[in-house]
Structure 1
Amino acid sequence: MKPQVLVVEDEPALAQALADNLEAEGLAVSIARDGAQALERWQALEPDLVVLDVMLPRLDGLEVCRRMRALGYTTPVLFLSARGQPEERVEGLRVGGDDYLGKPFHLPEFLLRVQNLLRRRAQTRTAPSYHFAGHRIDFASWTAHLKDGRKEPLSERELAILRLFIERAGEVVSRDEILDRVWGQEVYPSSRTIDNFVVRLRRLFEPDPQHPVHFHTVWGVGYRFTPTPEPKDKEP
Structure 2
Amino acid sequence: MTENIQVLLVEDESVLAAIVKESLEKRGFHISIANNGVEGWGMFKAMKPDVCVIDVMMPRKDGFSLVADIRLVDDEVPLIFLTARTQTEDVLKGLELGADDYLKKPFSMEELILRLKALVRRRVEKVPVLVAKEFLIGEFLFYPQQQELHYKSKIFGLSQREADLLLLLLQNKNQLLDRRIALTKLWGEDTPFTARSMDVYITRLRKFFKESSVVDIVNSRGQGYSLVEKH
Same fold (TM over 0.5): yes
Structure 1: stretches of 5+ with no match in the other structure = 232-236
* Equivalent of residue 136 in structure 1, options 122, 143, 167: 143
Aligned Cα root-mean-square deviation (Å) = 2.8
TM-score normalised over the length of structure 2: 0.81
Q: CA deviation at 1:85?
A: 1.6
Following superposition, the deviation at residue 131 of structure 1 comes to 2.9
The one of 148, 152, 160 equivalent to 2:157 is: 152
Task: Identify unmatched segments of 5+ residues in structure 2.
Answer: none
The alignment covers a number of residue pairs equal to 220
1:197 is aligned to 201
Alignment partners' CA distance in 2, 1:47 and 1:178: 27
Structure 1 CA distance for aligned equivalents of residues 51 and 61 of structure 2 = 19
Tell me what 1:234 maps to: none
Whether contact under 8 Å (2:214, 2:230) holds in the other structure is no
Output one character per residue of 1:166-222: Cα deviation in whole Å (capped at 9) or x when no partner: 44343202445544554515443x955533221102234x2626x461533346643
How far apart in 2 are the matches of 1:150 and 1:81?
Answer: 36
**Is the 8 Å Cα contact of residues 147 and 160 (structure 2) preserved in structure 1?**
no
* Contact 2:37-2:59 within 8 A present in 1 as well: yes
Q: 1:26 to 1:170 in 2, by over 3 A?
A: farther
Say whether the 8 Å CA contact 2:100–2:197 is kept in structure 1: no
In the TM superposition, structure 1's runs of 4+ consecutive aligned residues that sit over 6 Å from their partners are: none
| 1:110 and 2:125 aligned | no
Correspondent of 2:96 among 89, 94, 110 = 94
The Cα shift of 1:90 comes to 1.1
Are 1:96 and 1:155, in contact at CA under 8 Å, matched by a contact in 2? no
Q: For 1:79 and 1:155, how far apart are their aligned partners in 2?
A: 19
1:36, 1:59 within 8 Å by CA — same for their partners in 2? yes
Which deviates more from structure 2 when the two are superposed, residues 100-109 or residues 162-171? 162-171
Q: Which residue, 37, 40, 47 being the options, matches 1:45?
A: 47
Q: Which amino acid aligns with 1:165?
A: L
TM (norm. structure 1) is 0.79
| Partner of residue 223, structure 1 | 225
Distance between the aligned counterparts of 2:48 and 2:18, measured in 1? 20
Q: For the Cα contact (< 8 Å) 1:175–1:223, is it kept in 2?
A: yes
Q: Per the alignment, do residues 163 and 29 of structure 1 end up closer, same or farther by CA in structure 2, a change over 3 Å counting?
A: farther
Conserved 8 A contact 1:5-1:28: yes
State how far apart, in whole Å, the 2-side matches of 1:21 and 1:46 are: 22
Structure 1 residues 90, 145: closer, same or farther in 2, change over 3 A? same
SS, match of residue 105 in structure 1: coil
Q: Using the alignment, how far apart are the partners of 2:175 and 2:34 within structure 1?
A: 45
Look up the SS of the partner of 1:146 in the other structure: strand
- Alpha-carbon separation, structure 1, partners of 2:80 and 2:191: 12
SS at match of 2:54: strand
